[in-house]
Amino acid sequence: MTTPAPVPAALPLAHLAATDLAALNEQACLLTRVDRKYVLDHADAVDVLTALPAGTEVLEVDGRRTFGYRSVYFDTRELTSYAGAAHRRRRRFKVRTRTYLDSGECWLEVKTRGPRGATVKRRLPYDSPETLTEIGRGFVTDVLTEAEIPAWPVADLRPVLTTRYRRATLHVPASGARATVDTDLAWTTADGRGRDAHGLVIVETKSGGLPCAIDRLLWEHGHRPTRVSKYATGLALLHDLPANRWRRALARLDAAPATPSA
């Protein structure tokens, strides 16, 4: 039996001022945004978080500063969504449900590409995280149609991958930018295979366009943006799919231990 890798200690967040969800959404609700992603070792993430710009805030709810997330990703038999990302098609899309494990709140989310490569996210309150209901498929069809993406794949969408992780959300009031810090990442396929990456941290900055203060801090510490998608890299890792776009991220994720099957 393989001994699981030790889970790193919690990230340093106690020194940051708190903000609540209402204030965060009012000041930095970036549903159309430019994302930059970074894959860090736990020790490097600690160094960055202890050097955050003055005034940086962290989301706090009921005394908690990290929160459990569970996302179920939907794709066709031919993996149309995955192929669109892998081949950088302009009219690509991603469909998932996202459950906030601490509250039980669930949303159906559809991501498409906007002008200049910006990510556009549409979401709908949802109560069937494992399936696409008739209402859910109608919502996805409407979003794809508005984005001028052919909606024929919607009828064949099915759950193919589940991700779990813990997230802290940072806010820089001076610029309105925000960043997420994800730890304890694990994937499970529809047939029960799993992998984890507990020793790595994914930082994602979200801004209206220009790099934000957290991007510049990461650059000062020697970290550069990396193409990484929790869905695409996880699926490629577990199904040995072509993944040239995510080669650097996969090289690090591939060293993570396999999660034992139940």
Residue 13 lies in a domain: no
Residue 91 lies in a domain: yes
**Unique residue bearing structure tokens 């490629």:** 236
Strands of 126-211, DSSP E = 158-172, 177-189, 194-197, 200-207
Contact 55, 137 (CB under 8 A): no
CATH code for the domain in which residue 98 is found: 2.40.320.10
Residue 186 lies in a domain: yes
Domain count, the chain: 1
pLDDT digits (tens, 9 = 90+) for 133-179: 999 999 999 999 999 999 999 999 999 999 999 999 999 888 778 89
CA distance linking residue 22 with residue 68, whole number of Å: 19
Instruction: Note the residue count of the chain.
Output: 262
Residue 243: pLDDT over 70: no
Identify the pLDDT of residue 23.
81
Which of 44-53, 112-121, 180-189, 226-235 has the weakest average pLDDT? 112-121
Those residues whose C-beta lies under 8 Å from the C-beta of residue 41, and which sit 6 or more positions away, are 199, 200, 201
pTM score, whole prediction = 0.85
Coil, strand or helix: which one is 60?
coil
Q: Which two tokens stand for residue 49?
A: 């978080």
Those residues whose C-beta lies under 8 Å from the C-beta of residue 203, and which sit 6 or more positions away, are 37, 38, 40, 45, 48, 179, 180, 181, 182, 214, 218
Residue 247 lies in a domain: yes
Identify the pLDDT of residue 29.
57
Identify the pLDDT of residue 259.
44
Residue 1: pLDDT over 60: no
Residue 244 lies in a domain: yes
pLDDT digits (tens, 9 = 90+) for 187-221: 999 999 998 888 899 999 987 777 888 999 999 99
pLDDT mean over 25-34: 62
Identify the pLDDT of residue 237.
84
Identify the pLDDT of residue 215.
93
Contact 123, 107 (CB under 8 A): yes
Other beta carbons less than 10 A from residue 125's beta carbon: 8
Which of 52-66, 117-131, 245-259 has the weakest average pLDDT? 245-259
Measured in degrees and rounded to the nearest 5, phi and psi for residue 239 equal: -120, 5
Quote the domain boundaries for residue 50.
29-259
Residue 102 lies in a domain: yes
Residue 8 lies in a domain: no
Q: Which residues of 46-65 are buried (b: 16+ CB within 10 A; e: fewer)?
A: bebbeebeeebbbbbeeeeb
Strands of the chain, DSSP E = 17-19, 32-41, 57-59, 67-75, 93-100, 106-113, 119-125, 158-172, 177-189, 194-197, 200-207, 258-259
Q: Which two tokens stand for residue 91?
A: 């009219």
123: confidence class by pLDDT, cuts 50, 70, 90: very high
3: confidence class by pLDDT, cuts 50, 70, 90: very low
Identify the pLDDT of residue 119.
78
Residue 90 lies in a domain: yes
240: confidence class by pLDDT, cuts 50, 70, 90: confident
Pick from 201, 207, 208: which is nearest to 226 by CA? 201
